Chain A
């Protein structure tokens, strides 16, 4: 296993299994759901847990009730990826639980108990001894929790076996487990986990539980229906936007028209005259309008008059960035990869290519706009919010309110999408909500409209890449340079400290450093550009931009060398078996043969990260200006696919997300003012524009890799490469909608 579960895995499992014994989790603070939805043909006899049944909570992750239902308490956030299904599957496998009687529950906010072990390894949080960050980001949920959750399930299974052995007066070795029962092999006597729970609770948890041989898995590796699907089809799931507490006000904040501009003055008389508006308050981020509901808050905010010291804010214009970033990229940056001697390689080159790439600011635009429900009483605070980073959001709210962390209860809710926006390193929405709560002192919910979301910042940073390469007389690539200019994502000392752990995830050369091709002389360097447009990770972070530059540049070099893009990749990936395997699998699945001439234009791109590898082929037709994307074929090696159908779903989702960004995604600033505001001018892919999508998962028994972002980075370069193959045209800046020469509608 390459991942970071390197240190203290056993120690941690022991501490959890022992320390959590019989400590019941707090029910009221968590979202919880009824047991698994039945498979489609199982009829009306869906098992129902008795909410009054006695319960045993052997460790922080598992609860077993007397009526034999198992609840898995999940530390990671559900933002659509299927966390609430895949993590329970991992535990249930080792526990030998009856999958039809397994349900999920969102854990409390606690890095120490529920943090992702992935983040333990890189050394930053030693003082918490074993704590991970409780952040759902960087495609880490399954690969991070996999081993610890298996251990949690296995430990409890062994305790149940011991309890059964004692009760039946037989050796534990004469027993087996199946579907939430312990069974005496000789007599066939059966004891349910629920019956054994009370006795098992008295047994010391094993420090080193034995994990199953993966060959005997019956849950991991099988496609299962999502445990949260039913409540997502009948309107019953309560998202943050839907959450209500008694006497709750709805608050909208009028924020500065340009980032970082201070408020000069405001006149609230017209706002206060709106029926339903109950108050207007100055807060650090702007002016908060409190009202009885959404509609009156929105009317009130429209009526509010405010003056801002706009020139003191960030007044840059996107149109100026191209030149500014190119100027920056004319200078050497900080070297982050240096193989061989680039200058020597360049000296032996007979042909060279150099070009600049530009990528705009990009908004996440999740379907559910941001919102925070907060009940602050002066000495305590309770928060309900869909968050990818609940432990830090909780600490930040506590800091703003002058409370200790123990005085803040943070209830993480399922989110209507995140893509990184709900793990905000500026903690903007949670800080603002805490300030608003302090100003108003009444239960309230701060809601963001779609316009607030699109204009609210925390974008993928504007990025420019300058690439150059040399080919020798035989068409071999002898030198490669990649320079990146981008805003750094590290915005505060607090985050700087915390992200000693996540440096690799936020650094702007991600996807450039990992250039997989066998090229003797390679240099990658970076510039950190500074301005006051708030930036943040967006699904696949800098991989999306750097891989675009790498993979499209590669096809141009192949063309100069007179080689087919597939064969030159095969050549230069000869020592990268996983890359080669997905490349060949994708080409085969797409039926792509070198020299095929069927009117369909194809492009490919390859990428590895998150302990996974992917190759994607885009097929399109071009007639006149009109581009029709016919199909996207992916081949994925993600190690063990815990739930193959949900892996496919993540790849599909990544493809659509990537096409939205590639075709349309652009936030434009003019004198600091964001020009886009809603889905009509910040366009995203729709049904009629969506191609056929086919995904092949390569069989693997390795430790799971991440898939949430994996499907994103290759799509745009594969599309550009297909266009290059079709027309010879080069597209060095995104989105494609900027080019009049092509149309995707």
Chain B
């Protein structure tokens, strides 16, 4: 185990936590930087509740060693309000009553923002491929799908 400073840019701010370099990004965010919006659900990239963006790419923070994201740009759910697309997604979620317990929604929303950035008008198949890694035990998949289609149609612009 090596404890070292790891420089990162998190939600636009430069930080340099001194941590075990094997420690997953999720626990650096939650326990060192107090950003608890990204959730622990499985610890092995099975559920997607921890999804964040690393240089814009959706990434499972629970299995990403902090050393692997040194000098990279991390964006979490806490910064989603800062982009127009993020705000649209949030509006869609509130309007369509997408969240139930809400625990998976940080990850769902980060995955949806990344999907819509890559594919502005995704097909059902695109949605299946992009979002099937995110589990929702409350089963709100049909509402998420509907929200994505409405977002693509510009309903929340």
Contact = CB atoms under 8 A, between A and B. Distances in A.
B128 A688 contact: yes
B134 interface: yes
A280 interface: no
Interface string A212-245: 0000000000000110111111111111011010
A653 interface: yes
- Contact-residue bracket for chain A: 35 or more
A231 B37 CA distance: 10
A410 B77 CA distance: 29
Given A293-B27, A685-B139, A690-B139, A239 B103 contact: yes
B42 interface: yes
Contact of A449 (B31, B43, B132, B134): B43
Contacts of A657: 137, 139
A649 B93 CA distance: 13
Interface in B121-153: 127-129, 131-145
B31 A687 contact: no
A54 interface: no
Contacts of B103: 239, 366-368, 416-417
Which of B81, B95, B135 has the most CB atoms of chain A within a 10 A radius of its CB?
Answer: B135
B57 interface: no
Interface string B68-90: 00000000111011000000011
B101 A652 contact: no
Contact of A656 (B41, B80, B141): B141
A649 B36 contact: no
Nearest to A418: B101
A366 B101 contact: yes
Nearest to A234: B81
Nearest to B130: A687
B31 A234 contact: no
A680 B45 CA distance: 9
A-side binding surface: helix, strand, loop or mixed?
A: loop
B157 to A, nearest CB: 12
A235 B128 contact: no
A268 interface: no
A384 interface: no
Given A82-B100, A235-B76, A417-B137, A687 B131 contact: yes
A240 B142 CA distance: 27
Contact of A241 (B40, B89, B102, B143): B40
A679 B145 contact: no
B3 interface: yes
A613 to B, nearest CB: 21
Nearest to A677: B44
A368 B100 CA distance: 13
A44 to B, nearest CB: 12
Which of B132, B138, B145 has the most CB atoms of chain A within a 10 A radius of its CB?
Answer: B138
B132 A687 contact: yes
A293 B40 contact: no
Interface string A113-142: 000000000000000000000000000000
Which of A275, A649, A678 has the most CB atoms of chain B within a 10 A radius of its CB?
Answer: A649
B99 A232 contact: yes
Nearest to A419: B137
Contact of A229 (B76, B93, B134, B144): B93
Contacts of B31: 293-295
B128 A294 contact: no
Which of B81, B89, B99 has the most CB atoms of chain A within a 10 A radius of its CB?
Answer: B99
A653 B42 contact: no
A81 B139 CA distance: 12
A676 interface: no
B97 interface: yes
Nearest to A250: B31
Contacts of A687: 127-128, 131-132, 134, 141, 144-145
Nearest to A646: B97
A293 B35 CA distance: 14
Interface in A635-674: 645-646, 649, 652-657, 660
Contacts of A226: 94, 97, 99
Contact of A235 (B23, B37, B156): B37
A415 B100 CA distance: 10
Nearest to B144: A687
Given A229-B99, A233-B94, A653-B100, A367 B144 contact: no
A673 B102 CA distance: 32
Interface in A19-67: 37, 39-40
Which of A230, A234, A369, A414 has the most CB atoms of chain B within a 10 A radius of its CB?
Answer: A234
A252 to B, nearest CB: 12
A229 B97 contact: yes
Which of A415, A449, A686 has the most CB atoms of chain B within a 10 A radius of its CB?
Answer: A686
B39 A368 contact: yes
A217 to B, nearest CB: 20
A644 to B, nearest CB: 11
A692 interface: yes
Contacts of B143: 649, 652
Contact of B135 (A298, A369, A684): A684
B117 interface: no
A415 B93 CA distance: 19
A367 B49 contact: yes
Nearest to A693: B142
B60 to A, nearest CB: 12
A367 B141 contact: no
Which of A367, A414, A656 has the most CB atoms of chain B within a 10 A radius of its CB?
Answer: A367
Contacts of A78: 101
B46 to A, nearest CB: 4
A80 interface: yes
B101 A225 contact: no
B139 A655 contact: yes
Which of A241, A298, A679 has the most CB atoms of chain B within a 10 A radius of its CB?
Answer: A679
A239 B49 CA distance: 13
B61 interface: no
B91 interface: yes
Contact of A649 (B3, B97, B132): B97
Interface string A61-85: 0000000000000000011111000
B23 A295 contact: yes
A234 B78 contact: yes
Given A80-B102, A293-B27, A367 B136 contact: yes
Contacts of A369: 40-41
Given A241-B39, A687-B134, A649 B100 contact: yes
Interface in B1-26: 1, 3, 20, 23-24
A450 interface: yes
Interface string B31-71: 10011111111111011010000000000000000000000
Nearest to B1: A275
Contacts of A649: 97, 100, 140, 143
B135 A80 contact: no
B132 A688 contact: yes
Contacts of B20: 275, 295
A688 B145 CA distance: 10
B109 interface: yes
Contacts of B44: 450, 678, 680
22 contacts: A80-B102, A228-B102, A229-B93, A229-B97, A235-B38, A235-B80, A275-B3, A293-B31, A367-B104, A367-B137, A416-B39, A416-B102, A416-B103, A417-B103, A450-B43, A649-B140, A653-B138, A656-B136, A679-B46, A684-B137, A687-B145, A689-B132
Given A450-B42, A690-B139, 17 more contacts: A40-B95, A78-B101, A229-B98, A233-B99, A234-B37, A234-B78, A241-B39, A241-B40, A293-B31, A295-B23, A366-B101, A367-B101, A415-B101, A416-B104, A653-B139, A685-B139, A687-B132
Interface of B: 1, 3, 20, 23-24, 27, 30-31, 34-44, 46-47, 49, 76-78, 80-81, 89-91, 93-95, 97-106, 109, 127-129, 131-145, 156
